[in-house]
Structure 1
Amino acid sequence: MYCETQNTMGKSTYFSSKSVFGQLISLIDDSMIKKEVKKCNSDRYTKRFTTKDHLISMLFCSFSKCTSLREISGAMLGLSGKTSSFQLNHIPKRSTLSDANKKRDVLVFENIYHQLLKQYGGFLSDSRIKDVIKKQVKIFDSSTISLFKNIMECVGRHSKSGKRKGGIKVHTVVNADEIVPSLVWFSEAKTHDHKFLEKLNCDKNTIYVFDKGFNDYRAFEHFTAYETGFVTRIKDNASYRKIEDLDVADYIHNGVLEDQIIEVEVKKGKEKTPLKLRKVTFYDRVNKREFEFLTNLFDLRADLIAALYKIRWQIELLFKQLKQNFPLKYFLGDNENAIKIQIYCVLIVNLLFAVIKKRLKRSWAFSNLVSFCKIHLFNYINLMKFLENPEKDWIIDKAESEQLTFNW
């Protein structure tokens, strides 16, 4: 008795000449890296560990969720013979990577991120919001990352361990039709959110949406002067004077309870100037809550004001996505520069995964996509083909096993 099998049995239909890591890195144009390195002069005085080697090492950290310099350098020692697809020329020792994170200007990583966003932003964009509003809607918020080192000026109470808890605040702007940050600004955790308003560009084709933590009447006056729209929530203790009750038409969503023109006082030293704004009161029946929105958009329907603020939830989901899927609980350096480099590399990886997810016809949860790539980072799988039909090899193997013939 003997058995025969087809010669093709057991061969993967998803083989690739590049590892999964190489395929992900190939989304970053090498010429773009060289251009930014030259612009920032980031390889000056560098003998071996170039900016590109540094970038790939830090991206490896984010993809594989490494939590220490020792873990990165140790894991990368096993990459011998596997680096040709992403052109890594020098695997760093722990001290080499530590020095690079401390000394190399974070600007080159920031520029690479923004160039990637420029390249893929149109592809990631969803034009439906802009088609309705006819303006660019931008959401901004901040998230504090806690640190148990005196990296930025320490804030907060003493922890039980006796260490003073410091922190870095990451202020982020996201275009509502995209799913990745378009602007990032860092500050000490104790810095008040409204300071970030000074960093925003104002123009008549933009509407900013933000939480009430950013309330600043002088900024609202500035927005209005530059014809820049905004939508936020009014503070519970806000002082204002009602000017006019506006009619709520029958075609407006019945969750709109009130639509009013109000006047607030803008303090400038000893002087006070009046500023007219619009207050929309909306009842959310799903969450059984009443919201009061503040805006300078007088021509927009009241229910669209409420809908604009609802879009703000996207940035909360983004912060959650970044913190859950990437190593932002563990930092590889005890200095501000190292932390910023690590955050920008996480943003680059997040953008690359967003591009992969958008290209797929098959629906994948973001966290599942990240986990799969982490497990198979250096397997030679054709990533896109596999993700579109991950069961294909199993189905083929099963079919081939049923074709075994037994000859007596």
Structure 2
Amino acid sequence: MRHHNSVFHQIQKHVPWSVFDQLVDEHKADYRVRRLTTKSQFLALLFGQLSGAVSLREIEAGLSSQQSRLYHVGGRSVARTTLAEANANRPSAVYSGLFAHIAVSASRRTRRHIKDAVRILDATRIELSSLRSGWADMVSSHRAIKLHVCYDAQAQAPLTVNVTGQKTNDITPAKAMRIEPGMTYVFDLAYYDFGWWAELHAKGCRFVTRLKSHTRLEVTAEQPLPEGNRAILADRIGLLPQRMARSRKNPMADPVREIEVRISTGKTIRILTNDLDAPAGEIADLYKQRWQIELFFKWIKQNLRIRHFLGTSENAVRIQVFVALIAYLLLRLAQACQDTVSQPLAFTRLVRLNLMHRRPITELRQPERRPSAHQHQMVLL
């Protein structure tokens, strides 16, 4: 009979375990640990994400019921109290570092086109309804965190993620982010900072964003409108105001381009870019790609376990968020290795239903094959 690993084991093959071990050593995550190693903690939490478990009790019960198969994937059953203690005390930097490494790998391996890489910036708020600690910001009697994401539009996966309190302005993590020369960055009005735009421009990056209604552009040239595209209302080149707030000099002194676009709701928006040559329709389409990250936020909130948190401490919340994002990347990498299931949601559901089954991940849509027996082996019907 041909041997197959479980679907859970096949998903794990995309984890860079050597990097994981380095991170564990670097942060001394297993220092004086007697029972539950950091690897066992990670596998338990990853099992919870992929199986859809919403509580520590569910993870404990699920692992216990699959105990005979855990040995082959390097995992073990775990008591919920032990897992809760590990989530509270193990350094979350292990998981944020692992996510960062896998994100770069996923970006390279799942990107559809190498040319014209696009980065989309945005943030989303996640409410911490069960939080009892006071570490998170409270706004209108609600505690929440923010996920600040740099999203690879071609790979359809997050590239960098920062977790902050909900009061943190979106532009703050963006300014601390490493700028990749030559990239195209797309973002909305939350990143309205002329100084940061100037940094992008100086490093040879193209940016596409919105221009506020009260910001006046000193027009220096009017561009001809594209034929057959009634959504483009104006295309002009000009200069931004020389002074910013508090009479500071605007560092973005080079010409920029404003394109007025009528969107599907009938509203007119002002799109701004430092690309003076690309067709107006291309710039408008680039800004439209920003909806990809909105769909990503919606997907992870609906299909990953980040709405109900397993712990109340900041460390436990950070660990759960990054393990959820790691699960997303592993699913993307596993899906890219097969061609029978094209929709991410359908693939995720099939993985969930077959997580501990021993079958090829390329045959999840097909009926499970009956094990073939040797000619001299007795078969029980």
1:59/1:349 contact within 8 Å kept? yes
CA apart distance, 1:290: 2.8
CA apart distance, 1:300: 2.5
SS in 1 for 2:94: helix
Equivalent pairs: percent with the same residue?
Answer: 24
Query: In the alignment, which residue of structure 2 is the partner of 1:104?
Result: 90
Q: Aligned residues, how many?
A: 365
Query: In the alignment, which residue of structure 2 is the partner of 1:153?
Result: 136
Q: Distance in 2 between matches of 1:355 and 1:167?
A: 30
Alignment of 1:27-176 (within 5 A): 27-88=14-75, 90-127=76-113, 130-131=114-115, 133=116, 136-148=117-129, 149=131, 150-157=133-140, 164-176=141-153
Q: Distance in 1 between matches of 2:284 and 2:360?
A: 44
* Larger Rg over CA atoms: 1
TM-score normalised to structure 1 length:
0.82
1:379 to 354, 357, 366: 357
| Change in CA separation of 1:372 and 1:293 when aligned onto 2, cut-off 3 Å | same
Query: In the alignment, which residue of structure 2 is the partner of 1:321?
Result: 299
CA apart distance, 1:333: 0.7
| Change in CA separation of 1:266 and 1:77 when aligned onto 2, cut-off 3 Å | farther
Q: Distance in 1 between matches of 2:245 and 2:166?
A: 26
Q: Distance in 1 between matches of 2:326 and 2:55?
A: 19
CA apart distance, 1:351: 0.9
1:114/1:182 contact within 8 Å kept? yes
SS in 2 for 1:342: helix
Q: Distance in 1 between matches of 2:105 and 2:171?
A: 31
Query: In the alignment, which residue of structure 2 is the partner of 1:362?
Result: 340
SS in 1 for 2:241: strand
Q: Distance in 2 between matches of 1:115 and 1:142?
A: 21
Query: In the alignment, which residue of structure 2 is the partner of 1:341?
Result: 319
CA apart distance, 1:268: 6.2
Query: In the alignment, which residue of structure 2 is the partner of 1:3?
Result: none
1:281 to 249, 260, 275: 260
Greater mean deviation of Cα atoms: 55-64 or 199-208? 199-208
1:172/1:184 contact within 8 Å kept? yes
Query: In the alignment, which residue of structure 1 is the partner of 2:9?
Result: 22
Tell me if 1:247 matches 2:223: yes
Unaligned 5+ segments in structure 1 are 1-12, 158-163, 395-408
Greater mean deviation of Cα atoms: 197-206 or 262-271? 262-271
SS in 2 for 1:18: coil
Q: Distance in 1 between matches of 2:106 and 2:180?
A: 24
SS in 1 for 2:97: helix
Q: Distance in 1 between matches of 2:307 and 2:226?
A: 50
AA matched with 1:144: R
Q: Distance in 1 between matches of 2:11 and 2:301?
A: 20
CA apart distance, 1:338: 0.8
1:206 to 166, 178, 183: 183
Q: Distance in 1 between matches of 2:50 and 2:134?
A: 25
AA matched with 1:56: L
CA apart distance, 1:22: 1.8
CA apart distance, 1:253: 4.4
SS in 2 for 1:213: helix
1:20/1:373 contact within 8 Å kept? yes
CA apart distance, 1:215: 1.3
TM-superposition CA deviations, 1:148-204 (whole Å, max 9, x none)? 3245433222xxxxxx31000000001221111110011111222121221222354
Q: Distance in 2 between matches of 1:392 and 1:17?
A: 12
CA apart distance, 1:337: 1.0
Q: Superposition RMSD on alpha carbons, in Å?
A: 2.4
AA matched with 1:71: E
AA matched with 2:187: F
AA matched with 1:32: V
1:252/1:302 contact within 8 Å kept? no
TM-superposition CA deviations, 1:83-120 (whole Å, max 9, x none)? 122111x4321221111111111111122222223333
